Amino acid sequence: MRFCASLAKAAAPLLVSTYAAACAQRVDSNSPTATRHQAGRAETLRTIVERFRSESRFPGAVAGAWFADGSSVVVAVGLADRDLRLPMTDRALLHAGSVGKTFFAALVLQLVGEGRVGLDDRVSRYLGAESWYATIPNSETITVRMLLNHTSGIPEYGSDFMASLIRDPGHVRSPLDAVKSVAGARAAFPAGTAFGYSDVNYQLLQLLAERVTGRPAYVEIRRRLLEPHRLSSVVPADRKAIPKLVQGYAGEGNFMGFDAVLNDGHLILDPSFEGGGGGFVTNAGDLARWMPLFVEGKAFPARLLPDVLRGVPAGHLDVGRDALSGLGVEIVQTPLGRAYGHGGFFPGYLSLVLWYPEVGIALAIQVNSSASDALSRPLRDVLHEAARALADEGRR
242 and 386 belong to one structural domain: yes
Q: Which of 167, 193, 221 is the endpoint of a domain?
A: 221
Alpha-carbon distance of 68 to 335, in angstroms, equals: 19
Q: Which of 221, 243, 261 is the endpoint of a domain?
A: 221
Sequence-ordered list of residues with C-beta below 8 angstroms from that of 344, at least 6 positions apart, any chain: 95, 96, 97, 98, 99, 100, 278, 318, 350, 351, 352
Burial class (CB within 10 angstroms; exposed 0-12, middle 13-18, buried 19+) of 265? exposed
Number of alpha helices (DSSP H) and beta strands (DSSP E) in the chain = 12, 14
pLDDT exceeds 50 at position 143:
yes
Question: pLDDT tens for residues 72-95?
Answer: 999 999 999 999 999 999 999 999
268 and 390 belong to one structural domain: yes
Task: Say which residue, 33 or 336, is predicted with more confidence.
Answer: 336
Percent residues over pLDDT 70 in the chain: 91
Task: Say which residue, 160 or 9, is predicted with more confidence.
Answer: 160
Phi–psi pair at 366, nearest 5 degrees: -135, 135
Looking at residue 188, what is its pLDDT? 97
Domain with residue 56: its CATH number is: 3.40.710.10
28 and 123 belong to one structural domain: no
Amino acid identity of residue 261, one-letter, is V
Q: Which of 188, 221, 254 is the endpoint of a domain?
A: 221
Looking at residue 30, what is its pLDDT? 59
In a domain, 370, yes or no: yes
Question: pLDDT tens for residues 230-275?
Answer: 999 999 999 999 999 999 999 998 889 999 999 999 999 999 999 9
In a domain, 325, yes or no: no
In a domain, 206, yes or no: yes
In a domain, 277, yes or no: yes
168 and 193 belong to one structural domain: yes
Alpha-carbon distance of 31 to 23, in angstroms, equals: 17
Q: What's the mean pLDDT in 357-371?
A: 98
In a domain, 213, yes or no: yes
Looking at residue 37, what is its pLDDT? 79
Beta strands in the chain (DSSP E): 60-67, 72-81, 86-87, 94-95, 234-236, 262-263, 266-267, 280-282, 312-317, 320-325, 330-334, 337-346, 349-356, 361-367
Q: In the chain, how many domains are there?
A: 2
202 and 270 belong to one structural domain: no
**Domain housing 136:** 104-221
112 and 199 belong to one structural domain: yes
In a domain, 227, yes or no: no
Q: What's the mean pLDDT in 187-193?
A: 98
108 and 79 belong to one structural domain: no
Phi–psi pair at 314, nearest 5 degrees: -125, 5
176 and 50 belong to one structural domain: no
Looking at residue 36, what is its pLDDT? 78
Looking at residue 7, what is its pLDDT? 28
Across all residues in the chain, what is the average pLDDT? 92
Cα separation values, 93 from 14, 20, 287, 373, Å? 33, 30, 11, 22
pLDDT exceeds 90 at position 9:
no
123 and 259 belong to one structural domain: no
Cα separation values, 268 from 183, 219, 369, 373, Å? 27, 25, 15, 22
Sequence-ordered list of residues with C-beta below 8 angstroms from that of 167, at least 6 positions apart, any chain: none
The pLDDT-based confidence of 4 (bands split at 50, 70, 90) is very low
Amino acid identity of residue 63, one-letter, is A
58 and 133 belong to one structural domain: no
Alpha-carbon distance of 75 to 60, in angstroms, equals: 11
Looking at residue 31, what is its pLDDT? 63
In a domain, 333, yes or no: no
306 and 386 belong to one structural domain: yes
91 and 175 belong to one structural domain: no
In a domain, 229, yes or no: no
